[in-house]
Amino acid sequence: MLVNVALVIGTFLFMEGVAWFTHKYVMHGFLWSWHRDHHNHHKGFFERNDLFAVVFAGTAISLIVAGVEQPQYRFLAWIGAGVTLYGIFYFVFHDVIVHRRAKVKFPTDGQYMQRIMRAHYIHHKVHTKEGAEAFGFLFAPKKYDRAVKEKVAGKSDRPAESTHA
Q: What percent of the chain has pLDDT over 70?
A: 88
Number of domains in the chain: 1
What is the C-alpha separation between 64 and 8, in angstroms, rounded?
Answer: 12
Q: Which amino acid is at 114?
A: Q
> Residue 45: pLDDT band by 50, 70, 90 thresholds?
confident
CB atoms within 10 A of CB 31: 17
Of the candidates 85, 117, 112, 118, the one whose C-alpha atom is nearest the C-alpha of residue 98 is 117
Whether residue 32 has pLDDT greater than 70:
yes
Q: Which residue has the higher pLDDT, 147 or 47?
A: 47
Of the candidates 156, 94, 93, 165, the one whose C-alpha atom is nearest the C-alpha of residue 125 is 156
Q: Is residue 150 part of a domain?
A: no
What is the C-alpha separation between 128 and 77, in angstroms, rounded?
Answer: 37
> Residue 160: pLDDT band by 50, 70, 90 thresholds?
very low
> Residue 164: pLDDT band by 50, 70, 90 thresholds?
very low
Whether residue 11 has pLDDT greater than 60:
yes
Q: Is residue 112 part of a domain?
A: no
Helical spans, DSSP H, in the chain: 2-21, 32-39, 51-69, 75-90, 111-123
Q: Is residue 142 part of a domain?
A: no
Q: What is the largest CA-CA distance in the chain?
A: 61
Q: Is residue 149 part of a domain?
A: no
pTM for the full predicted model:
0.84
pLDDT on residue 41: 83
pLDDT on residue 68: 98
Structural domain of 36: 2-105
